[in-house]
Structure formats: C-alpha cells, structure tokens
Amino acid sequence: MAAPSLNIAVTEKRFGVGAPLFADFNLSIEPGTVVALLGPSGIGKSSLLRMVAGIDRAFSGSIAIDAVAAAQAPAPGFVFQDARLLPWLTALENVRLANRDLDQAGAENLLSQVGLAGRGGDFPHQLSGGMQRRVSLARALAANPGLLVLDEPFVSLDAALAAEMRTLLAETIDARRPTVLLVTHNVEDGVRLADRIILLAGRPAQIAADVALDTPRSERNEAVLDAYRARLMA
C-alpha cells in the first residue's frame, strides 16, 4: 500500500466545558514522512491520533488521508503504549487478526521482518516484553503498511530495550517508507526517528515549533543528534 498524505484541519475538539483541546489546528504531512508530535502529558497528542485513526469522530473540522475523510479511509496501523496482544491467541494469530486477508505465510513474513522468525506459534506469555512489542509492530504493518500511528510506543521500556525498538522501527521505516505520525514526550524518539518534529504547547494546543530534521536517519551521528537535541531544548 502506498504511503498517503495526511491533512489535519481541526476547527474544534473539546471535552466538556472549559477551553477546547484543539481550536483552528492545522497540520499537513507529506507521503512517506515521519512526523513526531512532542508535548507535555494531557495536551492532546493521543486524542489527535484517535481522530486520525477515525476512532474519535466528535470534533468539528476535517482530517483527510489522501483526500478521503479519516472515518472512511482504511484504518492506519496503530502501535499503542503497550502491546495489547490477545493472550489466548498466538503471535501469528494476533498479527492475522489485524488483516483477515493475510495468510499464514504473509504473517510469518511480517514476524520475520521484526526479528521473530520461528516464534509465530508462541503465546504472548511465552514472549518477553520486547518480543511482544515486536508482534504489535508486525500487527500494525499487517493492518496498514502505508500509514502508521504510534502512541508513545517506548514509554514503559527500559533504556536498552527502548533503544533496540527505536533501531527496529527505524529499519522498518527505511525499508517500507510509510507515512508515520509518532506521539512521544521523549525528545530522543524524535531526533532518532523523525523527519520533522512538531512541538505542541498551550490550551487549546498550538504548534509552538515545526522543526525539519534534514540529515537522513542512517547518517545521524552523535554530533548531529546533539545539535537536534539542543535546537529542541532551546
């Protein structure tokens, strides 16, 4: 599936009384681009992902995926803060659950791509936390390899495992070139994975900074990463 464009034009999104979560919020994302949304907890990052995924339709304005309203467009591949695997299904069955048209060979191929060749018959309790995250990434790719939305996918991982998962995700992105919307509170996720970082602030949330990361992911040495970190922390 080809990577789509994403156009967000939210006139208003609110929960109850008080200031809206979003008002006159506009963001356009080119096909095949990795955009990271950074901002404090509660600012609305996860809510925006649910609107993009067509799960939350209670807002005014429009969100279009390749000019099709998000609620009518194919659902994106969604990677959540935790693996959310069904414990009574094997890894292979969890992957196929996201796409009923995917045969066993296709699911095994996806598991192999995320480093789980030969583990398709294992149940979630037989897999480490990192392996479960890999299954969740394979499941997202099964659902929609052209558009991925990731909601704090490394938030509960220790530093070593988070670094391992960032590397896996970077390799997957470089191989497949999907459009990616990544929500995170961690600058490190942004500087290592994104082509563009959007900093959100305020209530209603507004774009406080829009930073392009021009150096390809594979060429970002520590000097480049330090320069990006400093720019974002300024």
Give the model's pLDDT for residue 1. 67
Identity (one letter) of the amino acid at 120? Answer: G
Q: What is the mean pLDDT of residues 187-211?
A: 94
Please determine, for residue 76, whether its predicted confidence score (pLDDT) is greater than 90.
yes
d(CA 107, CA 135): 10
Q: What is the mean pLDDT of residues 193-214?
A: 95
Please determine, for residue 234, whether its predicted confidence score (pLDDT) is greater than 80.
no
Check: CB of residue 126 under 8 Å from CB of residue 51. no
Long-range Cβ contact pairs of 217-223 (< 8 A, separation 24 or more): 217/170, 217/173, 217/174, 217/192, 217/193, 218/170, 218/174, 220/191, 220/192
Q: Tell me 124's DSSP state.
A: G
pLDDT confidence band for 16 (50 / 70 / 90): confident
Give the model's pLDDT for residue 159. 87
Measured CA to CA in angstroms, residue 53 lies from 70, 78, 101, 205, 216 at distances of 6, 8, 20, 19, 27
For the segment 46-70, what is each residue's pLDDT rounded down to a tens digit? 999 999 999 999 999 999 999 999 9
Helix, strand, coil proportions of the chain in percent (round to 5)?
A: 35, 25, 40
Give the model's pLDDT for residue 228. 93
Percentage with pLDDT > 90 across the chain? 77
User: Which fold does the domain 6-76+146-233 belong to in CATH?
Assistant: Rossmann fold (3.40.50)
Please determine, for residue 146, whether its predicted confidence score (pLDDT) is greater than 70.
yes
Q: What is the mean pLDDT of residues 132-161?
A: 90
Give the model's pLDDT for residue 217. 92
DSSP strands (E only) in 53-195? 60-65, 68-69, 77-79, 147-151, 179-184
d(CA 202, CA 40): 10
Q: What is the mean pLDDT of residues 156-178?
A: 89
Percentage with pLDDT > 70 across the chain? 100
The single residue listed with the structure tokens 């391992």 is 164
Q: Tell me 233's DSSP state.
A: H
Q: What is the mean pLDDT of residues 148-164?
A: 88
Please determine, for residue 186, whether its predicted confidence score (pLDDT) is greater than 70.
yes
For all residues of the chain together, what is the average pLDDT? 92
Please determine, for residue 18, whether its predicted confidence score (pLDDT) is greater than 90.
no
Annotate 155-174 with DSSP letters as a single string: TTS-HHHHHHHHHHHHHHHH
3-state secondary structure 10-58: EEEECCCCCCCCEEEEEEEECCCCEEEEECCCCCCHHHHHHHHCCCCCC
Measured CA to CA in angstroms, residue 233 lies from 8, 160, 199 at distances of 26, 23, 11
Give the model's pLDDT for residue 177. 94
Ranges of each domain in the chain: 6-76+146-233, 87-143
d(CA 201, CA 180): 21
Residues 6+ apart with CB under 8 A from 14: 20, 21
Q: Is the preceding omega at residue 4 within 30 degrees of 0, hence cis?
A: no
d(CA 149, CA 169): 12
**218, HSE (Cβ side, Cα atoms, 13 Å):** 5
